């Protein structure tokens, strides 16, 4: 797998899909050895436990589950881009940083930045002298004590 230019930032990683035979070897999504269920579960785990910005992977089942977007050359690995600590997050984002935000705001922590999270952010911002736009940027992170 030749490296993508974006890997030079240190926030991108390529991961091989899971094989049914457990071998640490190349596998395409069209190969009989490809384990779709376990690969889907692994990608879901990335979304729940890391500050994921995007996943590129060409498995239509994974795409249909809302866990990845298609991209040429991503049939033998999935590409994960992570958000940097303190990066701006907004409605429709998800990941461990969203879950951390929700915990700090005292709301249910599901790692998905939906309308309820946006409202809680706006309420927090208004109560702390910030522009209540529902977008968590540098100033909101700082007011939350997260840098």
pTM over 0.85, yes/no: no
Long-range residue pairs from 65-73, CB within 8 A, at least 24 positions apart, any chain = 65/40, 67/40, 67/43, 68/43
Mean pLDDT to the nearest integer, 42-62: 95
Q: Place 6 in a pLDDT band, splitting at 50, 70 and 90.
A: low
Q: What is the pLDDT of residue 11?
A: 82
**What is the rounded CA–CA span in Å between residue 17 and residue 60?**
14
Parse the chain into domains and list their residue ranges. Answer: 5-82, 96-144
Q: What is the pLDDT of residue 1?
A: 44
Given the structure tokens 């915990």, which residue do they identify?
103
Q: Which residues pair with 112 in a beta bridge?
A: 94
Mean pLDDT to the nearest integer, 92-109: 95
Task: Select from 47, 55, 139 the least CA-distant residue to 98.
Answer: 47
**Do 137 and 88 contact (CB within 8 A), yes or no?**
yes
**What sections of the chain are H helices per DSSP?**
36-49, 60-64, 96-105, 115-127, 138-144
- pLDDT of 84 over the 80 cut: yes
């Amino acid at each position: 797998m030749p490296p993508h230019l974006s890997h030079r930032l240190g926030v991108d990683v390529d991961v091989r899909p899971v094989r049914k035979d457990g071998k640490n070897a190349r596998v395409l999504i069209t190969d009989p050895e490809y384990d779709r269920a376990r690969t889907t579960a692994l990608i879901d785990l990335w979304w729940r436990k890391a500050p994921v910005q995007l996943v590129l992977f060409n498995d239509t089942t994974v795409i249909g589950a809302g866990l990845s977007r298609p991209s040429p050359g991503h049939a033998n690995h999935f590409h994960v881009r992570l958000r940097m600590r303190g990066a701006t997050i907004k409605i429709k984002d998800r990941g461990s940083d969203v879950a951390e935000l929700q915990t700090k705001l005292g709301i249910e922590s599901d790692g998905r930045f939906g309308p309820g999270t946006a409202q809680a952010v706006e309420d927090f911002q208004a109560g702390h002298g910030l522009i209540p736009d529902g977008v968590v940027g540098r100033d909101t992170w700082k007011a939350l004590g997260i840098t």
